[in-house]
Amino acid sequence: MAELWELSAAALRAAIGRGEVSCHEVAQAHLDRCAALDPRVRAFVTLTPGTALAQADHWDAARARGEALPPLAGIPIALKDNFCTRGIRTTCSSKILGDWQPPYDATATRLVREAGCVLLGKTNLDEFAMGSSTENSGLFTTRNPWDLDRVPGGSSGGSAAAVAACMSPLATGSDTGGSIRQPAALCGVVGMKPTYGRVSRYGLVAFASSLDQIGPFARSVEDAALLLQALAVPDPLDSTSLPVEAPDYRAALTGDVRGLRIGVPREYFAEGVHETVRTAVRRALDLFCDLGATVEETSTPHAEYGLACYYIIAPAEASSNLARYDGVRYGIRADNARDVIGMFEETRDLGFGDEVKHRIMLGTYALSAGYYDAYYDKALRVRTLVKQDFERCWERYDVLVAPTSPEVAFRIGEKAGDPLAMKLSDICTIPVNMAGNCAISLPCGFQDGLPIGLQIIGKSLDEATVLRAAHAYEQAANWQPRVPSLSP
Amino acid sequence: MAEATGFEAVVGMEVHAELLTESKMFCGCGTQFGASPNTLCCPVCTGLPGSLPVPNRKAVELVVRTALALNCEVNRACLFHRKNYFYPDLPKAYQISQYDVPIGVNGHLDVRVNGEMRRIRIRRVHLEEDTGKLLHVERDTSFVDYNRSGVPLMEIVTEPDIHSADEAREYLIALRRILLYIEVSDGRMEQGSLRCEPNISVRPRGTDELNSKTELKNLSSFRVVYLGIQYETARQALALEKQRGISLGASATVPGQPPLKVDVRDTALTQETRRCDEPNLKTVSMRTKEYAHDYRYFPEPDLVPVTFEEAWIEGVRAGLPELPAARLHRYTEEIGLSEYDAGVLVEERALADYFDTAARAYGGDAKKIANWMQSDWLRLFNAGGRDWTGVRVTPDALAELVHLQDEGKITGKLAKSVFETAWETGKTPAAIVQEQGIEVVGDEAQLLPVIDGVLAENERVVADIRAGKVGKLNFLVGQVMRVTKGSAAPDVVQRLMRDRLGLT
């Protein structure tokens, strides 16, 4: 029999339902796996074995009493450490929050708990989700389970690595410019950014409010669909949460993509996207044709401006969102400051890392009197153009297919001296955040043993079609191996 | 030196009013004044990481209500912006406020100043959230109370149309009265729920110059606002004279109650924020505006724009009560009250409502109701500290009292004592009259036996009268009044007595 940690969430849930395995055993198996591997992978900022076993025991007791179990009862999960967890340290991988324990749960935290998930711990990220490798974490860098000398991608690199290394079957992430999809691609797992407004942001520590969106990580499309189902609940605590009930995502996984109209925007295959990646995506498109979908080249002419606009809008919002870390109410506080302004300045200087400071300065500048129109306002206008590109596509296509990341996982430190190269990692994912659409990344091959990601982009609120396409491809392609060997 | 032309103040008024909502602007926390520090707060109003705002619809409605009452155009959408600045009482380091699309714009309020109507234009009415409060307990230590953080706050800004301390005072009184009438604010300056910040500059009279202005903050009452504007006007006029070497007829002494004496060393003209030093009756500089913040306003991404349906706005308009100016007009033009009497009644909405209800219940000449209210009613009301819980005479009871008087059932003198009893006890005038047996008896069938009895008992007096000493008739009438304990109608007794005695 396979190890428990190898099983998908769906398989584990079925086994638990049949009484073949207890939630406690499932939790313990994953905790053991974490204990064995995480010292090398370093996916977790905080492990919560006590919470995990208590929650697992809770569901075992419920089953013993004959109660009906919720859809993800006993399934381990890891939460990105920018999800507020009541009474459990939430760091955003920043020194500035110290050992802050939120007095409340994020809506997403509550939803996965109510769905039955068992919390294994909180995962590493680039500080405040700003980065594409976890090298900007204020705590440590997470390793890619396929090659421990390489980055897992980011910012949700800890969650992607935890799922890839089978330390957890499920994890959550947040995606502001690609922070779920790019690490999913680099770690060879499935990661989805739902439509903006599909999942409540309440309790997700904000980076760029108009772009941030929570989504699932899993090793299969079906598992991602199960977790999305738990997360996609309208929330009165988030004004931007859309008041739309989610359809049954698992029911959408029919395996049938006959007649599916796929658009392939040529801008995503431009120079800078590695040849191997382009080839892998083209092969995936061939497979879609074989499955009965139609594939046609198209264009989203403003996609190339997405990155530039993103680096105005996201830092601008971040400069405001991160202004609250002033040492007054929580986190660290600089001692011996002259006065209150001095305390603000010294606390922020001590607590924030370079990338965060860099973006705060960028955003402050973009919003300053005299520059607002030239930068922020103009970026908002171009954002509308990016959005309109997609709207035009939806007149002819059901989904768009593109690479997720222009290249496979790079070596730790490789881009440390080249911030622009680092930022280009998100060139294929950012336009989707700008438009607010949904998109998924799933494995579509390997280059020298490193996974390549396929991105499928869908209309607003049409996660079901994206999942259906991804699932059909996944089943037909059946890429192996799915689990890294993690040999030393 | 140029000839003295005189000078005038140019004042724009910013008023902040906390709205009368049960809960805060963006969360469900309560808004009561005076609770223990930090007992009315949650992740949202303390700006914890991850928290998000959800707008209070009631607060939005109250601002629309105010905008309509101040004759504003109401924008069809409610958009919020972030105003970014660092301060310990501002937990998110930005205030959610409104910027280029306030709820109301281009309104006005007409006020009477020294017998003359002046129109003060309202530039904007917008909605924002209040900040917390700093408590300075000792040197080098401050605490923050976030109970007030996130309380809905409305800002009402005028054009620079105010030209004297008198005008400023009348504007504030009229504005506060409207806010109370339409039940959006409790108007309590002493609790900080209403705050006034005048922006003041001075120019030679007859010019349209706009000189450096000072903003006055932390003013605790309308009186302090008034004194502050008076002081600033004189101080800036002196500064202008000094700066330009001209004479505007400014004086360092401002007569009044109390008289003000400008500190002539403090007459530089700079853009700055000042506060009132109340004990010393002067204004002093707080900080100069050269360090003005760049607030980096941008649209609040956590909130989606709220759009208003035309019908909804009209519904809010229809829900407005009759406003003070309209009432004053109705009282003077339709009822015929004097400007002064009408003014006393409209001063407080509850008073005017009481009057209207009583007048409606009475149905006759409303002036009679007004007369009662102006005299005994207000005397007792004021004596009770204008406390409505002490008002036990209902509008219906007041109407009943005037009716009793009209019907001749009680005399004017009795009516006064009946009213006082009613005020004390809450009993209706009819019940009091009956209880005390003081109803006037004018019924002949009841009075004749009494008169005959008095005549029989006083044969000598009757004989004197018949002999021509008609003056003694009053004695007999007095006897009837004694027997009836004053309840007999004196004129009826007089007439019946004369009939009996055969006098013409």
Half-sphere exposure of A117 (CA within 13 A, CB side): 28
Instruction: Name the closest residue on chain B to residue A339, using Cα atoms.
Output: B140
Torsion angle of the four alpha carbons B184, B188, B189, B191, in this order, in degrees rounded to the nearest 10: -120
Q: pLDDT for B132-170, tens place per residue?
A: 999 988 777 889 999 999 999 999 999 999 999 999 999
Are residues B13 and B82 located together in one domain of the fold?
yes
Pair of tokens at residue B18: 């906390």
Instruction: Name the closest residue on chain B to residue A105, using Cα atoms.
Output: B50
Determine whether A387 is an active site residue: no
Are residues B124 and B235 located together in one domain of the fold?
yes
Q: What are phi and psi of B498, to 5 degrees?
A: -60, -40
Pair of tokens at residue B162: 């105010």
Taking the C-alpha atoms of residue B64 and residue B61, their distance in angstroms, rounded to an integer, is: 5
Asked whether residue B122 is assigned to any structural domain, the reply reads yes
User: Do the Cβ atoms of B49 and A238 come within 8 Å?
Assistant: no
pLDDT beyond 60 at A236: yes
Q: Which of A203, A326, A372 sits opposite B86 (nearest CB)?
A: A326
Range A286-296 average pLDDT: 98
Asked whether residue A138 is assigned to any structural domain, the reply reads yes
CATH code of residue A91: 3.90.1300.10
Determine whether A155 is an active site residue: yes
Q: Looking at residue B261, what is its pLDDT?
A: 92
Are residues B187 and B281 located together in one domain of the fold?
yes
Are residues B390 and B449 located together in one domain of the fold?
no
Q: Which of B402, B436, B470 is the last residue of a domain?
A: B436
Q: Looking at residue B4, what is its pLDDT?
A: 52
Taking the C-alpha atoms of residue A407 and residue A451, their distance in angstroms, rounded to an integer, is: 9
Range A389-418 average pLDDT: 95
Number of structural domains in chain B = 3
Q: Looking at residue B289, what is its pLDDT?
A: 47
**Cβ neighbours for B8, distance < 8 A, ≥ 6 positions apart:** B163, B164, B202, B203, B205
Rg (CA), chain A: 21
Using CA atoms, how far residue B168 sits from A92, B15, B115, in Å, is 51, 11, 15
If you search the block for the tokens 């306003």, which residue do you land on? B297
Of A156, A179, A319, A441, the catalytic one is A179
Q: Looking at residue B292, what is its pLDDT?
A: 59
Asked whether residue A161 is assigned to any structural domain, the reply reads yes
Range of the structural domain that residue B253 is part of? 7-299
Pair of tokens at residue B47: 């700006």
Asked whether residue B116 is assigned to any structural domain, the reply reads yes
Q: Looking at residue B290, what is its pLDDT?
A: 46
Are residues B47 and B192 located together in one domain of the fold?
yes
A102 contacts in chain B (CB < 8 Å): 43, 48-50
Q: pLDDT for B250-305, tens place per residue?
A: 888 998 888 999 998 888 888 889 999 888 889 998 865 445 579 999 999 999 99
**Cβ neighbours for B419, distance < 8 A, ≥ 6 positions apart:** B372, B376, B377, B393, B401, B429
Q: What percent of chain B has pLDDT over 90?
A: 69
- Contact between B273 and B217 under an 8 Å Cβ cutoff? The reply is yes
Q: Where are the alpha helices (DSSP H) in A237-377?
A: 275-290, 303-321, 340-351, 354-367
Pair of tokens at residue B312: 């909804």
Are residues B19 and B73 located together in one domain of the fold?
yes
How big is the CA angle at A86 (ends A85 and A89), to the nearest 5 degrees?
65
Residue A72, min C-alpha distance to chain B (Å): 25
Measured over the CA atoms of residue B416, residue B418, residue B420 and residue B422, the dihedral's sign is negative
Instruction: Name the closest residue on chain B to residue A103, using Cα atoms.
Output: B43
Of A133, A137, A155, A319, the catalytic one is A155
Determine whether A179 is an active site residue: yes
Q: Looking at residue B484, what is its pLDDT?
A: 79
Q: What are phi and psi of A305, to 5 degrees?
A: -90, -10
Asked whether residue A287 is assigned to any structural domain, the reply reads yes
User: Do the Cβ atoms of B51 and A323 come within 8 Å?
Assistant: no
Rg (CA), chain B: 32
Number of structural domains in chain A = 1
Chain A residues touching chain B at CB-CB below 8 Å: 82-84, 90, 92, 97, 100, 102-104, 106, 201-206, 208-210, 236-240, 316-317, 319-320, 323-326, 328-330, 340-341, 344, 364, 367-369, 372, 376
Asked whether residue A305 is assigned to any structural domain, the reply reads no
Asked whether residue A324 is assigned to any structural domain, the reply reads no
Are residues B327 and B292 located together in one domain of the fold?
no
Q: Which of A237, A341, A372 sits opposite B52 (nearest CB)?
A: A237
Q: What is the ipTM of this complex?
A: 0.96
Contacts 24+ apart (CB under 8 A), B442-451: B442/B408, B442/B488, B442/B489, B442/B492, B444/B492, B444/B496, B447/B480, B447/B484, B447/B488, B447/B492, B447/B493, B447/B496, B448/B496, B450/B480, B450/B483, B450/B484, B450/B488, B451/B480, B451/B493, B451/B496, B451/B497, B451/B500
Asked whether residue B305 is assigned to any structural domain, the reply reads no
Average pLDDT value for chain B: 92
pLDDT beyond 50 at B205: yes
Asked whether residue A78 is assigned to any structural domain, the reply reads yes
Q: What are phi and psi of A457, to 5 degrees?
A: -110, 135
Asked whether residue B243 is assigned to any structural domain, the reply reads yes
Range of the structural domain that residue A248 is part of? 4-267+273-299+391-477
Q: pLDDT for A92-122, tens place per residue?
A: 999 999 999 999 999 999 999 999 999 999 9
Pair of tokens at residue A170: 């499920």
